[in-house]
Structure 1
Amino acid sequence: MNQDTMGAVLNRIEGITDGDWQRMSTLEPSEFKAEFFSGSEQLSSIGGSMSDEDIENLRRGGHDPRKVYAAYKAAEAAEGPAVILAHTVKGWGIDSFEGRNSTHQKKKMALDDLIAYRDSLELPISDDKLEDTPLYHPGEDSDEVDYMRSKREALGGYLPSRKSPHTGIETPDESTFSEFDDGTREGQLVSTTMVFVRLLRNLLKSDIGPRVVPIIPDEGRTFGMDPLFSEFGIFSQVGQNYTPVDHKMLMKYKEDESGQIIQEGIAEATSMATWTASATSYSHSASPTLPFYTFYSMFGFQRIADQVWAAADSRARGFLMGATAGRTTLNGEGLQHQDGHSLLVASTVPGCRAWDPAYAYELATIIRHGIDEMWGKDLDVIHYIMLYNENQQQVAKPEGADEGIIRGAYKVQDSAGQPPSIRILGSGPILQYAREASSILEAEHGVSSEVWSVTSYGELRRDGLASERHNRLNPQDKREPYASECFGDDTPTVAVSDYIAAVPEMIQRWVGGRFVVLGTDGFGRSDTRESLRRFFEIDTESIVLAALSALEQEGEMPDGTVEGAASKMGLSLTREDKAE
C-alpha cells in the first residue's frame, strides 16, 4: 500500500464483487497475484515487487488485528454514527475451508487441517492428541490469560452475562383491579377491550404509573384508546409541531416531548423492538418498566412471532395485548384480519402465557397475576392476552374464582346432576353461547350441563406436561394434572372456541370422556358475527347439536336425536367452504 500513491490498490479492492472475492480466496498465490494486480501499469508494478510468500501473508482487513483496532479507534473518534465494513474470508485460518461453500456443512476437521491450524496458532499439542479434540489452556498466570481478563474487566465484565436484580417495586393494590369484580349493571354491554383501556388508565394513574409503557403500532382509536391520548400524551422527541384536525375536541390527538404513549405508526416490528427494550429494562438499565403492546391480534403476533421468540430468549417481561381478537368476533373484515390461530402460535414460545378471558374480572385478575409474576416474583414471562371488541354483559366475579382463572379453567355453572349430562367449555365471547346452549339443552332436551370458562388452554397444557414429567420420574408420588381434576371423569365434554380446534385440543389427553371440539378452522370471511358463527359451527345452536351428538353416540339419547334437532333449529348438515 505504501507504493500505491494513486490509490490503485484501493480502487481495485472496491471494484471486486463479493462472489469474485470468494473465488479468489481459493487461488494459489501466483494465480491471485496475476488476477488481482492486473488492469494497469501501476498495479502490475506493485504485484511484480511481491513474492508468493508476500501474497500468502496478506490478510483481509477483518482478519488483521491492527486494521480492526484502527477502524474501531476511528469509529470512536467519529462525530456521528459510524459503520465498520470489514472484509473477511469464511473458513479463514483453515486452508481447506477458506472461501469454500462446503465450509457451512463441514462438521469435522481432517488431521492435516488440525495440524495446520495448531501450527498457525502455535499451540503445544502433539499430533497424536489432536484427533481427540483437546482443550488447551495457557495457564492461569500466563500473559494471554492476564491480558484477556484485564481487557474484559475494562469492558465491564464477562459475556454472556445477564443481570436480573430484584425489582423492589410495590405492585398496585387490589383496588386498582377490583372495580371490575361487580360486573356491569343489567343491560350495560361492555367489551373486554373497553375494560382494558379503563384498567390501563388505572395503572397509569397508580403509583407505578410512570413505569407503564403503552405501545400502539396502529388502530389506537379502533381499540378505544383515544381518551388516553390527551390525558397522557403521545411521545414525540420534537413535540407537536402542527395543529391536529381534532384540536378543538376534548379527546384530541396530543403529541408531547413528555408523552407516555408510544405510537410507532403502522410498524409492528419497530413497536416490538420498543416493547423488547422496555421489557428488558429491568436488566439492561436496572430500571423496570411495564410495557403493554396493543395490536390487531391477527397482524401483530403473525408479523412479530420471531421477535417475540427473541424477546423471550432475552428474558423479557411484559404484556402483549391481542386486540380485535377472534375469527368471528372481528366481523366484516375477511380473511386478512380475522385471527383464529395466534393463541396456538403463542403457546410455542416457552416463556409466553397465552390467555383468552371472557369477562372483565378475568382480564383484571390475569393482568394483576402477570404483574405479580414479573415484579413480585421476578419471573421472566410474557403474557399474551386476547381482547375482544364485542359488547357483552359483564357478570360479577364468583367467589373463589381467582385460582381457577390463573390455572386455566373454573366452573361458572353447575350441573343439576341428573342424567343425561354434558360438560361445555367456553372461552372469550363464545362463553356466552356456551351458557345459552346449556339453558336450551335443559329446557328443550332434558339434558343437564355444567359450564366452564377456560381462560388458558396453554396453561392447562403446561401444568399437564409438568405433571406427566413428575409422574414419570416419581412413579410412587403421582400428581394429577389440573385438567384431569376438572375434566377427567366420563362426562362427555364439548369445547367451543373462536380459535382453531387445535387450541382446545391441547388438553385432549387429560379429558376423560368423549371430547368434541368446535373451532374456527379455515380462512376468515366477510360477514356478520351471527353468520360467521353459524358457518364455523360455534354458535348456540351448533353447541346444542354437538352436545346432543355426543350423548347420542354414547347411547344416552335416542337414535335420530341429532337429525331431529338439526331440522328443528334450521341447521344444515352439509357445509360448502370455497377455501377448501
Structure 2
Amino acid sequence: MQDQFPETGADIDPDIIESREWRESLDYVLRHAGPTRVRELIAELQIHARSQGVRLPFAENTPYINTIPPDKQPPYPGSHELEQRVRNIIRWNAMVMVVRANIKDKTLGGHIATYASVCNLYEVAFNHFFRGAGDGYDGDQIYFQPHSSPGVYARAYLEGRLTENHLNNFRQELRPGGGLSSYPHPWLMPDFWSFPTASMGLSAIMAIYQARFNRYLEDRSLKEGNIRNVWAFLGDGETDEPEALGAITLAAREKLDNLIFVVNCNLQRLDGPVRGNGKIIQELEAAFHGAGWHVIKVVWGSGWDPLLAQDHEGLLAKRMTEIVDGQYQKYTVSDGQYQRDHFFGTHPKLMEMSKLLTDEHVRTIRRGGHDTDKIYTAYKAAVEHQGAPTVILAKTIKGYGMGEWGEGKNTAHQQKVIGEEGLRHLRTRFSIPLSDEEIKEAPFYRPPEDSPEIEYIKERRAALGGFIPSRQIVNPGLPKPINEEPFTELMTGTEGREVSTTMVFVRMLSKLLRDPDIGKLIVPIVPDEARTFGMDALFRQCGIYSHAGQLYEPVDKDTLIYYKEAQDGQILEEGITEAGSISSMIAAGTAYSTHGVNTIPFFIFYSMFGFQRVGDLAWAAGDMRARGFLLGGTSG
C-alpha cells in the first residue's frame, strides 16, 4: 500500500487520497466544462455502477449546507444598517403588542416567538421583493405565517397605516377605535388581509391552487399575464398537516414558476422539536425535490463560509449532516464551549478548524434564515427561476433575539408576558431609545416621520408598488343583467316526466355557459365525477383546462363527447381531491377582489362523501368572502 501511495506517507489513509483525487477531477471538469458536463458525468457513473451490480441508495438529498455557494451571491442592494434598525424596532413593537395585551387581560393570548424567527425572512421580502398593486401590476399574493401577525401589524404601524390605538387593541377587534385580529382574517379586516392562514396547512394548498388559477385566467384571456408571484410562508411543523404537502405534485406538474414557498424551519412545534431524532430540512427537501420543485436550502449564515471553504475533505459538511435537529436545539441554548466540544470535538481536524472562532463567535454564529445576504440570494434565485415552483427551506431559531425569555426553548411558543427586567434587556439588545422609567409602561416606539428608518421603508414600498398586505376590493359586477332565457325552460316544469335535480342543474349550467355575456365567467369545478353527474357533454363544449393543452390523442376521440383538454379549457377537472377542488373554488370565488374579474365558480361534489372533507376550507372561503356555488351532486 505504501508503494501505491509513496508520496503520502504510511500514516495517510489511501481512501482519503483517492477521494481527494476524485474531487480534484470533478473540480477540473467544473472549471473547464461547466456544471452541465458535471451532471452528465455523474449520471454516466451512476449508470455504469448499476450495470456492474452496485446498488446505489436512492437519495433526493443534498448535503446539509446552503444550496447557493458564496461565490454565486449577488451584492445586497439595500442598507444593512438601516434595515437592521428597522427590524429591531418592528421586533420590539411586535413583542410589546402581545405583552401589553396580556398585562391587560391574561386570557387574550398571542405569540411572540414565531415572528422573532421569521422577521428577517419577511423584511428582506418587504424591502426588495413583495410587489404591491400599481403601474399595471396587481400585486403579489402572500400567505403569511399566521402566528407571525404581530410583526406584520408592527410594520404597518411604522408605515403609518395602523395607529397605536390599533396595536393596543390587538385581539380586541370590537373595542372603540378598531382593533386587530389574532391572525390574518379578511372577514374581520377586509381592507388589510387577503388570505386567511390560521388553520394550519390550508395556506399551502390554497396558494398552489391560487397560482394555478392565475394561469387559468391568463390562458383563457380573462386576465393579461403580468408575472404575479404567489408567496406562502409556512412553519416546518405545519407541514405535518396532509393539506400542506398533498398538492405539491400538481404545482410541479403545472410548472407553476409563479409560486414560492418559504418554510420557516425553526425546528420547533408547540410542544417540542419538529423532528428531534431527524432533520426536517432534509425530509422536506426530499419530498419537494421528488415532486419536481426547485429546492433552495438556506441553512447557514455567512459566518460559516470561511470554515466551509477550508472543508476540503468534507468533514464539516458531514458533521453538519449527521447531527439531528434535537441536538441543534440544544446548541441554541448552550454556551460556546459546549458547542465547540460537542460539534467540533469529534475530529481533530474539526477542532483545529474551530480555533478560528472564539467561544462567543461559536455561540452567536447565525443560521441562514437570519442572514439577510443569504435570504436575498435565495429570493432572487426563486423569482428568476423558470419552469418549476420554488421552495426555500430556511433554518431559523424560534424566539430569535429573545434570549433567556424564549430563544430556542420548547416553551417559546407560549411566551406571552415578559417582565420589566426582560424588557430592559431586550430594549438594550434592540437599541430602542427608551429610558428605564419608560420601560415600566412597556411602550411602543416609532421614530419621527422624517427619520431615516421611516423614510427608508416608505421609499422601498413606493419603489415596489405600494403597501402590503392590502386587500383591493374591486368588485366589477356582471357585464349586464343575466338573461332569463336559460331558466325559462326549467321554470315551466317537466310535464310529468321525472327528472333528477342534478340533471336539471346540468341543463341550466350548459345554457349559462353559452350565454354571450357571462358564459366565459363561469368556472365549473368537478372532483372526477363529471360523468356521474351527466356533465360529460360539457367536455367538448367547454374543454377541460390544461396549461399544456392536450399532448395525446384521447382514447374516445371518435365519439361525440370525447375527453378534450385545452389550454383555454373552461372546466377545472381536479381529479379525486375535494380539498383541491374547493381551493380552486376559493380562488375563483375571490377573483373579484384579487383580480378584478367576477368569475362565478360552481363546485359540484359527490354528495355521499364530498362535503365532510372540506369543512375547514369552506370556513376559509367564508373568511375570504368568496362568492360561488357549492352543490352536492347525485350520490349512489
Instruction: Give 1:122's aligned residue.
Output: 431
- Counterpart selection for 2:366 from 25, 35, 59: 59
Instruction: Give 2:560's aligned residue.
Output: 250
Instruction: Give 1:91's aligned residue.
Output: 399
**Distance (whole Å) between structure 2 residues aligned to residue 220 and residue 277 of structure 1:** 21
Instruction: Give 2:464's aligned residue.
Output: 155
The structural deviation recorded for 1:261 is: 1.2
Output aligned runs, 1:161-200, within 5 Å.
161-168=470-477, 169-185=479-495, 187-200=496-509
Output aligned runs, 1:109-508, within 5 Å.
109-168=418-477, 169-185=479-495, 187-206=496-515, 207-324=517-634, 330=635, 333=636
Q: Aligned pair in 2 of structure 1 residues 217, 83: CA closer, same or farther (>3 Å)? A: same
Choose 1 or 2 for highest CA Rg: 1
**Distance (whole Å) between structure 2 residues aligned to residue 70 and residue 173 of structure 1:** 54
Aligned residue for 2:391, secondary structure, equals coil
1:49 pairs with 2:356: yes
One-letter amino acid of the structure 1 residue matched with residue 392 of structure 2: I
Are the equivalent residues in 2 in contact too, given 1:230–1:254 (CA < 8 A)? yes
The structural deviation recorded for 1:145 is: 0.9
* 161-170 vs 18-27, which moves further: 161-170
**Distance (whole Å) between structure 2 residues aligned to residue 82 and residue 171 of structure 1:** 43
Aligned residue for 2:602, secondary structure, equals strand
Are the equivalent residues in 2 in contact too, given 1:171–1:208 (CA < 8 A)? no
* 104-113 vs 191-200, which moves further: 104-113
**Distance (whole Å) between structure 2 residues aligned to residue 75 and residue 41 of structure 1:** 38
Aligned residue for 1:20, secondary structure, equals helix
| Cα displacement string for residues 447-486 of structure 1 (whole angstroms, at most 9, x for unaligned residues) | xxxxxxxxxxxxxxxxxxxxxxxxxxxxxxxxxxxxxxxx
Instruction: Give 1:73's aligned residue.
Output: 380
The structural deviation recorded for 1:243 is: 4.3
Instruction: Give 2:331's aligned residue.
Output: 24
The structural deviation recorded for 1:172 is: 1.2
Are the equivalent residues in 1 in contact too, given 2:543–2:565 (CA < 8 A)? yes
**Distance (whole Å) between structure 2 residues aligned to residue 159 and residue 239 of structure 1:** 35
| Cα displacement string for residues 103-142 of structure 1 (whole angstroms, at most 9, x for unaligned residues) | 1222201222212211111001122332422110011111
Q: Aligned pair in 2 of structure 1 residues 76, 246: CA closer, same or farther (>3 Å)? A: closer
One-letter amino acid of the structure 2 residue matched with residue 90 of structure 1: K
Q: Aligned pair in 2 of structure 1 residues 145, 17: CA closer, same or farther (>3 Å)? A: same
Instruction: Give 2:320's aligned residue.
Output: 13
Are the equivalent residues in 1 in contact too, given 2:475–2:598 (CA < 8 A)? no
The structural deviation recorded for 1:230 is: 2.0
Aligned residue for 2:382, secondary structure, equals helix
**Distance (whole Å) between structure 2 residues aligned to residue 149 and residue 199 of structure 1:** 51
One-letter amino acid of the structure 2 residue matched with residue 233 of structure 1: G
For structure 2, the 5+ residue unaligned runs are 1-304
Instruction: Give 1:35's aligned residue.
Output: 342
Are the equivalent residues in 2 in contact too, given 1:94–1:116 (CA < 8 A)? no
* 74-83 vs 206-215, which moves further: 74-83
The structural deviation recorded for 1:242 is: 4.1
**Distance (whole Å) between structure 2 residues aligned to residue 82 and residue 191 of structure 1:** 46
| Cα displacement string for residues 55-74 of structure 1 (whole angstroms, at most 9, x for unaligned residues) | 23311111122222232233
Q: Aligned pair in 2 of structure 1 residues 269, 184: CA closer, same or farther (>3 Å)? A: same
Instruction: Give 2:390's aligned residue.
Output: 82
**Distance (whole Å) between structure 1 residues aligned to residue 436 and residue 382 of structure 2:** 43
One-letter amino acid of the structure 2 residue matched with residue 109 of structure 1: I
Instruction: Give 2:306's aligned residue.
Output: 2
- Alignment size in residue pairs: 325
**Distance (whole Å) between structure 1 residues aligned to residue 574 and residue 411 of structure 2:** 43
Instruction: Give 1:101's aligned residue.
Output: 410
- Structure 1 runs (4+) greater than 6 angstroms displaced: none
- TM-score of the two chains, using structure 1 as the length reference: 0.53
Q: Percent identity?
A: 46
| Cα displacement string for residues 261-316 of structure 1 (whole angstroms, at most 9, x for unaligned residues) | 11111122222222222112222222221111111134222111112222222222
Q: Aligned pair in 2 of structure 1 residues 244, 78: CA closer, same or farther (>3 Å)? A: closer
**Distance (whole Å) between structure 2 residues aligned to residue 37 and residue 112 of structure 1:** 35
The structural deviation recorded for 1:246 is: 3.7
One-letter amino acid of the structure 1 residue matched with residue 396 of structure 2: T
Are the equivalent residues in 2 in contact too, given 1:215–1:271 (CA < 8 A)? yes
**Distance (whole Å) between structure 2 residues aligned to residue 241 and residue 61 of structure 1:** 42
| Cα displacement string for residues 344-371 of structure 1 (whole angstroms, at most 9, x for unaligned residues) | xxxxxxxxxxxxxxxxxxxxxxxxxxxx
One-letter amino acid of the structure 1 residue matched with residue 564 of structure 2: K
One-letter amino acid of the structure 1 residue matched with residue 631 of structure 2: M
Aligned residue for 2:490, secondary structure, equals coil
Are the equivalent residues in 1 in contact too, given 2:543–2:566 (CA < 8 A)? yes
Q: Aligned pair in 2 of structure 1 residues 239, 86: CA closer, same or farther (>3 Å)? A: closer
**Distance (whole Å) between structure 2 residues aligned to residue 29 and residue 116 of structure 1:** 21
**Distance (whole Å) between structure 1 residues aligned to residue 364 and residue 390 of structure 2:** 29
The structural deviation recorded for 1:144 is: 0.8
**Distance (whole Å) between structure 2 residues aligned to residue 297 and residue 141 of structure 1:** 60
Q: Aligned pair in 2 of structure 1 residues 250, 311: CA closer, same or farther (>3 Å)? A: same
Q: Aligned pair in 2 of structure 1 residues 301, 84: CA closer, same or farther (>3 Å)? A: same
Instruction: Give 1:371's aligned residue.
Output: none
One-letter amino acid of the structure 1 residue matched with residue 330 of structure 2: R
Q: Aligned pair in 2 of structure 1 residues 276, 93: CA closer, same or farther (>3 Å)? A: same
The structural deviation recorded for 1:241 is: 4.0
Instruction: Give 2:170's aligned residue.
Output: none
Are the equivalent residues in 2 in contact too, given 1:220–1:226 (CA < 8 A)? yes
Are the equivalent residues in 2 in contact too, given 1:71–1:84 (CA < 8 A)? yes
**Distance (whole Å) between structure 2 residues aligned to residue 146 and residue 153 of structure 1:** 10
